Structure 1
């Protein structure tokens, strides 16, 4: 489908976003999402890919003791934020906006000396752009392309353009050139390669560089989204560009974004939530007491997370079977639930779990991400729990104390010396004259 307006879609997006009012509550919510993203970033340092990224930043052409190129800084922070699989997720677009927008906005804001409120406004606008583009791409795009990687550059460019004070024409140029850099394929899933982290980092970097160039008058295509050789024509065979501007009078898309309580692919979360309920009843049952376990879910969850045998920590984070077996057996899913010992413990139960695509979950996606878990005992007893959404969704949000506790845990995992103080500084961004320093290289 094509837009009904003669105004290019990127220009419509810029006008819509710049005109949208941001209340004090909106800024406070944005600060919570920044806290969540920063905690993921700092926690991501304590991982094999995180250490490799820090070696690249410290031993490559960019030294942390010298001025660090803003685009490369955004790439590093974005990639770190997307490692532990505990960063936010916007359901309608299937985009992780925080790992792209927050690093890009942070890198530019630190360079420009922006205030906390100006930074948070840019974060709101960046979330709005990346998720609105994602709302239109369609399910066929997601089967090949990683939406965070392909839609992310629009959000990072918008956030950077706002912090740079670019006018409407220059912002459209930035979005055009950012969109032309959209890329990111799911092929990494077959081997558990580290590429997914690079997706977030590149999307953050692409937007920063596009905005910096636009500030110098470097032009970009105004119809990058809907043009005959644009993004939707190239990569969205069942996309609907009219969805990009849908429900424009609603709340900021950041407010409609979910936070993750568990460190695994978001597609596993409604089933984890259901399995944790069943654990309360079944925690005394042994493997010989269980006849069958079935997970009912939607197509995208099946396509990405039907993995009965997880051969690595990262594959386990994308395995419905491993996550459900762990939740049923342990009654919790933590950062330690995916290592060699955890996979070995869960293997027997996980290998026998069947995943099915069924309604109502199939037809409700992506509006709702739901699942059910059914356990049939050897004596014929059936136990079942179902979720229309997951913990952390707007319908069942994490409360601010929960977000702070999660963030402090992630920062402690990442070796941050004073996580409470940093968390308090990030929560206070709506009134801050400047952004605090982040111990990314510490």
Structure 2
């Protein structure tokens, strides 16, 4: 019987652009555009300079471009930095059932490798779509189980998707691809401890997954070996990382209907730069703000949440009410809802240091609490429920149910997000060129056409 990694390689290495449904092609274009934009936005903030310096220290000169600056470095350094940047604002994407952030790692891996391997636009789209699909399918073997064990599945599962992508772009044969996936199991990693103090370390999980995938594929190309049953084996990924004796793994689900049913359709690009589970609560807060609610009217705010969300974005409450860094704020439901109510927006320019220290905003954070909503279960849809008690005794309420929250971003809102992110990253003048390059990627003879559009007019050589 074939192993899961063999079955996945069978499908992925034979996948062609013409096999992709039209909506998957369009979603892949959006994934590319969103990855470039949010990484560029992060490059202009505090996260950027340490990453660029690291890329140039470790990677030197090379063929692969850094988003936001235009510096060129090695493929592994570029993939690492670009994927890490996509995570920095929590503005990327999530597969709804598993909460894995997929596109930042996969797009960064493919674009870094495509620039030196004569990859045309259609092949880049097929490689990104297929590797994204495999990332989702590995995740659904045990949805949310990594999170419940204190692990970050984006860095763990994402490394497998990146290994498949790298194997394809480096033109590995079938056996070498299986070895690459086996090898990457020893490189995949990610923990969540930085959620406690707001430090940045978790952000590198996307980037390390990309670098691990390229490293594993390169090792396999040069004759190194890895286990075929890296996923389902008795000492494989799932049984080593998730050790509850009563946990059942749905290994059969990974290859089921592969190429006919697309899990990738359940990836949602984030409309707001915060944790995925907080997104519908931001919808509620902004809806109340549009209706005229202002912070001087607010006596108390209650967010009704699923019980499993509490340790993620609600507790410890004292720490969540006083985030020490922007990243800390992005994983705090009380702070996130407060800033949305306070400013009437949440975008790439939110979570500034001055906001985190603003007495008026923090006084509002102190009036935000949570209560368990027993009607909410896990799954693909997330519910937001915000109740506001005003000083004059009114009770205002906004609900975004699982049926009407977290849907695909409307095109106008998506493009405004892209425009603002590029502006934040100092590349607002490249907006039209990047849009056109992504829209025409499937007709491009080389990915270099897209990367040329992403080259900034000024910033690339600064600080060299």
TM-score by length of 2: 0.86
Verify the 8 A CA contact 1:259 1:398 in the aligned structure 2.
yes
Aligned positions of 1:267-306 closer than 5 A: 267-284=277-294, 286=296, 289-306=297-314
The reply on whether 1:8 has 2:16 as its aligned counterpart is no
Alignment partner of 2:254: what SS? helix
After superposition, the Cα gap between the structure-2 partners of 1:356 and 1:169, relative to the gap in structure 1 and judged at 3 Å, is: farther
After superposition, the Cα gap between the structure-2 partners of 1:241 and 1:13, relative to the gap in structure 1 and judged at 3 Å, is: farther
After superposition, the Cα gap between the structure-2 partners of 1:55 and 1:369, relative to the gap in structure 1 and judged at 3 Å, is: same
Identify the match of residue 262 of structure 1 among 266, 272, 281. Answer: 272
RMSD between aligned alpha carbons?
A: 2.4
Match of 2:413 in 1: 402
Match of 1:182 in 2: 188
Alignment partner of 2:94: what SS? coil
CA distance in 1, matches of 2:28, 2:254: 21
Match of 2:250 in 1: 241
CA distance in 1, matches of 2:295, 2:184: 53
Structure 1 unaligned residues grouped into runs of 5+: 1-5
After superposition, the Cα gap between the structure-2 partners of 1:246 and 1:380, relative to the gap in structure 1 and judged at 3 Å, is: farther
Verify the 8 A CA contact 2:348 2:424 in the aligned structure 1.
no
Match of 2:56 in 1: 58
Aligned positions of 1:38-437 closer than 5 A: 38-60=36-58, 62-63=60-61, 68-143=73-148, 144-237=150-243, 238=247, 240-242=249-251, 243-245=253-255, 248=258, 250-284=260-294, 286=296, 289-306=297-314, 307-343=320-356, 344=358, 345-361=360-376, 363=377, 365-389=378-402, 393=406, 396-416=407-427, 417-435=429-447, 436-437=450-451
Structure 2 unaligned residues grouped into runs of 5+: 64-70, 315-319
> How much has 1:402 moved relative to structure 2?
3.2
- Alpha-carbon deviations, 1:92-124, whole Å to 9, x = none? 121111111001011111110100000010001
> How much has 1:59 moved relative to structure 2?
4.1
CA distance in 1, matches of 2:372, 2:230: 35
CA distance in 1, matches of 2:410, 2:294: 31
CA distance in 1, matches of 2:289, 2:411: 26
CA distance in 1, matches of 2:265, 2:133: 10
> How much has 1:12 moved relative to structure 2?
2.3
> How much has 1:370 moved relative to structure 2?
1.6
Alignment partner of 1:7: what SS? coil
Number of aligned positions between the proteins: 431
TM-score by length of 1: 0.90
> How much has 1:130 moved relative to structure 2?
1.3
Verify the 8 A CA contact 2:266 2:380 in the aligned structure 1.
no
Verify the 8 A CA contact 2:62 2:74 in the aligned structure 1.
no
